[in-house]
Structure 1
Amino acid sequence: MQIVNHAMKIVSKDIKCDKFLWLWTTFFMLYMAISFSFLINRQFEDHEFFNPFADFLMMMVSPMMGFFFSRRSFKYLSEDSYTQMLFYYRSIPVPTEAVILSRAFMGLSAFVLNGIVFFGVTYAIASDLRSYMDLAAYASFGISWIGIGILIHGLYIYFEFMSSGKAYFWFTILLMFIFGVIMLGLIFVSGFRISLFGYFVVASYKWKLLSPVMWGSLALGLTGYILMCRLTYKRMRLRDLS
């Protein structure tokens, strides 16, 4: 319980120190939602859901829903702000468990806020999507992608705590490259017949909030997230910040 109290104090401090955190986060997600809504709606115009390019787009945007966009996140490359944060918490009596727990909590909270904004705005704009999916089916579709986003975001947390700002930047570039290679591989192997996007659409349309795909994605995402946070905690204690 004491670790949880320490973690909540860190969360409270981070929010108070950056008064525009909620504003920047909401603004960025609004921008992403408006931009992606037209691309997502296009998949529903002719009911052509099995498109690996849609997978690539959602694989990029879904993990980003786990971020609150603050001064620290904007300056990670120029000032190595995440390493500075760790150095600060090591200089004061704050348990390492509390630091990683606070980050895990902030990530899940961001997924709730950003998921509502992103998928809500997309649903409001994408008319062809609305005509195909009712709200329950679309909620299942959104939660399915949030599960994937949570799973991938665990990797972001690991490199956020375990690397310098420059290394973290190159990790994000590498991750996008890997997603691109996977997309091209699916196109080459299946000829646009295999797509996670399409699989989620079909499952959500058929089962709505009872979709085993949705619950499986969420369970997989949370399990992977917890395991990556535990691994980050174990490795973080050994990291040399000098």
Structure 2
Amino acid sequence: MAMNIIEKDFRSDKFQVLWTLLFTLYMVLVTGITIGQQFEDLGNVFPFVDFILFFYVPMMSLWFSRRSFRYLNEDSYTQMLYYYRTLPIPVPVIVYSRLIMGLMAFLFNGLIYYGSIYLISPATRAIMDIPSYLAFVGIWQGIGFLVSGFYIYWEFMVSGKAYFHRALLLILITSIAVVSMSMMGFSLFKFSAESAMRWKLLSPVMWGSLIIGLGTFLLLGRRTLHMLKNKRDLA
């Protein structure tokens, strides 16, 4: 039944794949050159690269649909829950369908974003072979899983305005963390790149990031399911 919800969601908003694709390509244009320059000069740390990856990677779990554009003004995520409850659809199916859509979005956006950067950046290809680059991508995808779990939790549990405020708070915390690490001479981009080049697909940083990130993603999905059943009134 979860796949039926996903199919219906794509049928009802046929342009969400297009909008998602266009936004991802836009991010490639905005960040691709800078990331390539950072690969070329790992000795110098550019905090902007850490920040943009922390900011954008969790957003890879999103499909840019009418619902996501209208969540602030229309509280569209809550309206979606009301709608599904009237059908009725079991709460687990609703949550599972969102988690599956998040994983599908990660795959779609990740292939386009990371693949495009590797293709357009000679500096990246010069310093990293494909196994090393895949390890680098795995590290950041793990971070994406970790953070996006909170976004999905907020989609289901709070209003559109509260979702917006919490997202801003998360961005603020991320900014402070990036600046603090930079002041101490540490860059997660540099650390992840060096780990990937050293260990390739055997990188413990990559596997640790994926296990922790995906584990947190699934645990927050389970927490969301529990809270929807017991705390949030959808009647």
TM range (shorter): over 0.9
Kindly provide the CA deviation profile for residues 152-178 of structure 1, in whole angstroms up to 9, marking residues without a partner as x: 000000111111111111111111100
Distance between the aligned counterparts of 2:34 and 2:127, measured in 1? 15
Distance between the aligned counterparts of 1:119 and 1:169, measured in 2? 27
Distance between the aligned counterparts of 1:118 and 1:40, measured in 2? 12
2:160 maps to 165
1:200 maps to 192
| SS of residue paired to 1:240 | coil
- What is the 5 A alignment of 1:218-229? 218-229=210-221
1:230 maps to 222
* 2:233 aligned partner, one-letter code: D
Contact 2:58 2:147 in 1 (8 A): yes
Kindly provide the CA deviation profile for residues 67-98 of structure 1, in whole angstroms up to 9, marking residues without a partner as x: 11111111111111100000111112210000
Cα offset, 1:54, TM superposition: 2.3
Q: In angstroms, what is the RMSD of aligned CA positions? A: 1.4
* 1:218 aligned partner, one-letter code: L
Kindly provide the CA deviation profile for residues 28-47 of structure 1, in whole angstroms up to 9, marking residues without a partner as x: 11111121101211212322
Cα offset, 1:102, TM superposition: 0.2
2:207 maps to 215
* 2:5 aligned partner, one-letter code: I
Contact 2:28 2:116 in 1 (8 A): yes
Q: Tell me which stretches of 4 or more aligned residues in structure 1 moved more than 6 Å.
A: none
Distance between the aligned counterparts of 1:45 and 1:212, measured in 2? 24
TM-score (norm 2): 0.95
* 1:211 aligned partner, one-letter code: S
Contact 2:132 2:196 in 1 (8 A): yes
Unpaired runs of at least 5, structure 2: none
TM-score (norm 1): 0.92
2:111 maps to 116
Contact 1:51 1:198 in 2 (8 A): no
Instruction: Tell me how many residue pairs correspond in the alignment.
Output: 234
Distance between the aligned counterparts of 2:36 and 2:147, measured in 1? 24
- What is the 5 A alignment of 1:1-242? 6-48=1-43, 50-188=45-183, 190=184, 192=185, 194-237=186-229, 238-241=231-234
Distance between the aligned counterparts of 1:199 and 1:47, measured in 2? 9
Cα offset, 1:10, TM superposition: 0.7
Distance between the aligned counterparts of 2:193 and 2:200, measured in 1? 10
Kindly provide the CA deviation profile for residues 185-232 of structure 1, in whole angstroms up to 9, marking residues without a partner as x: 2233x1x2x221111101111111221211111111110001100111
